[in-house]
Structure 1
């Protein structure tokens, strides 16, 4: 068999074995707003998949649609757009609606996050121009931040945005902190977009502010408290002593323990040690990668765990998720990032 005959045979086999819905998806994608409709279709499939008694066929359909969408949403076809207060109203509203990490309280809060010493970048696709795919918020600060409050409250009110502040002082900008990244389209789950967005934003920020030396996240640890509660109620755990376990049970039975500064001083080294163990040693049972989803995202991107921060998020959500702790994932040179990603 010649090479051309072999290739033709492979194409015929692919044509005969490809499910009919694959061609239907391609036809829909060629229609006006068709790509957007397919993204929403896959979101619906993923939403109802757990309720289906025999999901194997539907899972294959979802995977087929994901593979097709991945060809349309490659990084070369996506645009990085900086969102400002002067951007189209629809885009600005989407930024507010899609914020999944640190809730935007009102329009004044939104204006601050789009204002001086901040950057908001959105990944967009020409087939969905007013519906961002990923939104990244960045704080421009004088050192790597150890508290989300210092970023969110840097300019305390819209009236504080003076003409002087509008012209950002380069001497106050040394570090870029990625403090929120939100994937907005459930239908694109499984298609990696956030990593490429961070890299492209780093290049844009370096071009705008050559004085930038450090790039880091300030990230939540969304499942730490959940994991800790599992360990406290497990009879097989060996990382928490019976004395500490008893103290934690008594402490967490109250709702005001975290308001006592003496208690916070006592519990800090214990929780910091347990959280370090959780981030670096606890793996997902199926994948073998970091169990914490945010840790897995940044480590997969090539970042490194750099610093754990106590009382970094004292909001109600911060206490519920991670007992106030946040972590910096440091991004170094692109060469090092790529090596770390491969090693991970």
Structure 2
């Protein structure tokens, strides 16, 4: 049975209303009402999480599926999610679990049980993914703490919209994050119901806090795929750190954009070229048939280092974090 758990990061304001401090929406929630994420509720002047231990999805995935290409490549990551999200992306690929109402039909699963399942599955990390991990923060935090005690790493696959306070709180236990950098400000406003600025600031803060960061951009025709828009995103990443791996993924029709058309493979390949042109060390392609774009190459001598076929690593030549050909250090956690 799922029992609401008192939330963290909130404050009571006048008339028993609550200000949630978990993400950059900073929702003001009236008594009996929920926040934008639909999983945090004001009950008699206190904020509660409705999804603590209410796991809707769990699976031992290749870490490359998240995607992480420079964090424990070739390993398995135990991946979990609850329902809910603090974005309302019209193109959401996981809308069947991110945009639905809570049913609490699942049996309660404790953080300890998640850690035990991860270990039994041969995983080296736990990924909080599929939906937005920020919205099940209390469960993610408790699980991450238990995971660290057992020698497991912790990864967020996130929209990057958590509050500075939330990020600093979990940073002690968070080893890696793949952050969606979706487009320009208008893209965020129109297609996601959010702002871009907090995402950029959080990527910077993650780097400062020592969290390994990779970035993903889903290219959608006529929304974020012009040469100017792609170059601007590449430049933003490069200004933070040219060593941040950039994953450029192809849009397929989904959710409220199910009648839209897919992005072209040609555009994805052009975006990869732009990323390299703008000085990024590692640029990858996703959702297309492009073997070159799924491999890792040394940014210095350009030799092939990690060969992948889909989400499977077939060869990893990196030795002690270095290129075996020119001895330059390869960025990542290996």
**TM-score, scaled to structure 1:** 0.30
The answer to which structure, 1 or 2, has the higher relative contact order (CA under 8 A, 6+ apart) is 1
**TM-score, scaled to structure 2:** 0.30
Task: Flag the structure with higher strand content.
Answer: 2
